């Protein structure tokens, strides 16, 4: 559910049938169904800069951006897109990314296309859509089909998408995948900012959340039974949190009111973590250990900067 929306309370649901569904909790009805993914949807998230924008990530590594006010996909994130789209000079024409000019089909082509469509319609084994090379070059159908083929090949990760988090400031977007990468994206241009985060191992074949602080400066990334803490903008490692869980961590959530982090794992425990010295570079921090509480003992690794307070 979007926490910035003032006009709707829709809930985004990812489904194994590759469709994204929006549900209205007041009526229990499904209000929207979005098609486009080729694999089961693992994660969904609402944008923090636009109340009508929702994102979804699937098991094939694709992240799609949707606008609930319009049909079709608004954008697909591409891990190799690292620059803002080029714009033409003032008064000039931008030739990059411009669609080819429309060339109307001749009468002969239209007659041939009509007979082909008619014969396919009468065949039970005929495909639902004509192949791209069967459409007149430059026609709207050919351009749209080529765009869909290109769009379906774009990937944000080389593995399934396990986390999708728009930052609270609305400027950035974080994603994580089973390729062992966490990526930072520009929310406006939807380009990869090429920030490297070391040690983001990930073998989870399901959603595994990440969390950020309210100022979008620090990100918490669960890996196995520990949590790595990084600076968002440059990927610098700040600290590591260990000892609170004995099995894999599935979710983390930061509480800006108390400055605490909550984590849930397969050991059926919810751990509470507090932090100190997150502004201190890794090389300047000494190991001070963690605090004992709630029947367990948490510790920071040799980088320092945080400890566990207890359990719920």
User: Among 172, 204, 236, which residue terminates a domain?
Assistant: 204
Based on the domain organization, do 121 and 233 belong to the same domain?
no
Which CATH number is 192's domain given? 2.130.10.10
**Backbone region of residue 289 per phi and psi (left: phi > 0; alpha: psi in -120 to 50; beta: other values):** left
Smallest CA-to-CA distance from 75 within 195, 158, 187 is with 187
Based on the domain organization, do 293 and 247 belong to the same domain?
yes
Q: Within 13 Å, how many C-alpha atoms sit on residue 241's CB side? A: 32
What's the CA gap between 21 and 31, in Å, rounded?
A: 8
H/E stretch holding 147? helix 140-153
Based on the domain organization, do 192 and 220 belong to the same domain?
no
Give the structural domain span for 281: 209-312
Domain total for the chain?
A: 3
Report the b/e string of 19-53 with b at 16+ CB within 10 A: bbbbbeeeeeeeebebebbeeebbbbbbbbbbbbb
What's the CA gap between 159 and 306, in Å, rounded?
A: 31
Based on the domain organization, do 248 and 303 belong to the same domain?
yes
Question: Angle at CA 291, nearest 5°, toward 289 and 294?
Answer: 145
Based on the domain organization, do 56 and 116 belong to the same domain?
no
> For each of the chain's 312 residues, which pLDDT tens digit applies?
776 777 788 999 998 899 999 999 989 999 999 999 999 999 999 999 888 899 999 999 999 999 998 888 999 999 999 987 655 444 433 333 433 343 444 444 444 434 434 443 444 333 333 344 454 555 555 445 555 556 778 999 999 999 999 999 999 999 999 999 999 999 999 999 999 999 999 888 889 999 999 999 999 999 999 999 999 999 999 999 999 999 999 999 999 999 999 999 999 999 999 875 454 444 433 333 333 333 334 555 544 556 777 787
């Amino acid at each position: 559910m979007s926490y910035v929306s003032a006009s709707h309370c829709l809930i985004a649901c990812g489904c194994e049938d590759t469709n994204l569904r929006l549900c209205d909790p007041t009526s229990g009805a499904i209000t929207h169904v979005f098609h486009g993914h080729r694999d089961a949807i693992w994660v969904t998230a609402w944008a923090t800069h636009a109340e009508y924008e929702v994102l979804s990530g699937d098991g094939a590594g694709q992240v799609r951006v949707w606008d609930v006010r319009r049909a079709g996909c608004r954008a697909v994130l591409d891990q190799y897109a690292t620059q803002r789209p080029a714009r033409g000079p003032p008064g000039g024409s931008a030739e990059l990314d411009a669609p080819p000019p429309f060339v109307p089909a001749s009468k002969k082509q239209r007659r041939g296309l009509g007979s082909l469509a008619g014969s396919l319609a009468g065949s039970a084994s005929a495909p639902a859509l004509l192949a791209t090379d069967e459409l007149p070059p430059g026609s709207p159908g050919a351009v749209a089909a080529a765009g869909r083929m290109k769009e379906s090949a774009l990937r944000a990760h080389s593995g399934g998408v396990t986390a999708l988090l728009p930052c609270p400031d609305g400027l950035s977007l974080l994603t994580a995948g089973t390729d062992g990468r966490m990526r930072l994206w520009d929310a406006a241009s939807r380009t990869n900012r090429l920030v490297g985060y070391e040690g983001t191992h990930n073998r989870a074949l399901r959603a595994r959340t990440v969390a950020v602080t309210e100022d979008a400066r620090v990100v918490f990334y669960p890996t196995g039974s520990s949590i790595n803490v990084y600076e968002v903008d440059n990927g610098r490692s700040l600290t590591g949190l260990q000892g609170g869980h004995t099995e894999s961590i599935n979710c983390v959530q930061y509480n800006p009111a108390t400055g605490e982090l909550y984590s849930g794992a397969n050991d059926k425990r919810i751990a509470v973590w507090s932090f100190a010295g997150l502004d201190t570079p890794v090389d300047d921090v000494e190991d001070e250990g963690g605090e004992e509480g709630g029947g367990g003992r948490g510790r920071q690794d040799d980088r320092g900067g945080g400890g566990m307070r207890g359990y719920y």
